[in-house]
Structure 1
Amino acid sequence: MKLYKKISIAGKIELLTGIHIGDSKDSIDIGGVDSPVVRRKDDNRPYIPGSSLKGKMRSLLDIAYGKTDTTKSPEHPIGKLFGALAPDKNISGNPSRLIVRDANLNKESANEIQAKGFTDMPYTEIKFENTIDRIQGKASNPRQFERVPAGAIFDVGFVINVVAETDTEAAEAEKELLDLFYAGIRLLEDDYLGGSGSRGYGQVKFTLNDPVHKTAEQYLHATV
């Protein structure tokens, strides 16, 4: 198998509603917040882990295809894009062809959030949630959820590796992987990212640039 090209896709994720992607309570100074968001350690800004994006896209595609799990289906299109283990010794597994970068809070968006001064914590808001006892009609177990507010924008990047044995196979693989990738993006826009999606959290919108194609030969013969 040969690497034919790398396809890079950069863009932005806009939060249409507040988003909560949780971190360990002990990992940051949370000041009493029950459920903090994940933050970078160098600048304390929230970010969206690539693993969260990738995992949600794969889960939604599994559902769309009517599959419960494609992690052991290397011949399935999802197994080809996201990677799959070998189901038995007669079939080889696939490494993931999709790289998903961590999505960092856009610098201009971060400055705008700070300038508006409406957040409860640096770059984030606090939302109180309760568990409703429907028998007694009472709210109980109040909790504080930290969220990145609606309107925040994150920079995102993806790389798809096209690997094949012939030019024809490479062209077919490229179309199959790109079509599946964009299907995953569309599914995610109509679903949610992070936790508490059924309560209104995590609606996002992607704005992606045109793909940038680089062949293996361009890497091998480029001057540094």
Structure 2
Amino acid sequence: MNMLKKEETVNYITELVLKEILAQGLTLEQNKTKIPVSISARHIHLKKEDLEMLFGSGHELTRVKDISQPGQFAAEEKVTLVGPKGKIENVRVLGPLRKETQIEISITDARTLGIKPVVRDSGNVDGTPGLTIIGPKATLQLEKGCIVAQRHIHMTPKDAVEYGVKDGQKVMVKCLNDRGGIFDNVFVRVREDYALDMHIDTDEANAFSIGNGEIMEILK
């Protein structure tokens, strides 16, 4: 499914959710603006073939703790990333497995590794740099898949109605702490199995002195 069709499908589902809520005589707290934020440290998502190459045939991820989005978790497994200029050790694997391996780092990490930082939405890895990944059983040369994740907000179709936004829309988000500041070009992602949360990386959090769980405000 291409991106346009995906957005059209999600927005259609959002409209159905609104109609169902109104049909049942329920009320919505519309014009919401406040959202929690989570800080995403460097990590890697692996496809099955790459997991087994790095950790051994038949290996399965060992869940350590759940993270903010339903069904996703931090695993016990870690790898080392190696670039043209440096390496970063103990990079955690997140589960569950993906269809394609993807590494998410910060711009500072990209400079440490010696690769060009490419800001992308998750899953859009064409034309992105690759890296060498070292696991306990083997070394893998990844040809593409290393991104700096585009900052984004996860929400359900019901959330989208309440916040007055659509899947794929870009919004501005205001930091409400003492340092203040505004994030531009924040992507909205809408799906039934999402939990309301804004994701930024460690560079962005440090620049604005933001901690996990802080409340931000959508300005649109």
TM-score range, shorter chain: under 0.3
Answer 1 or 2: which has greater strand percent.
2
| RCO comparison, higher one (Cα < 8 Å, 6+) | 1
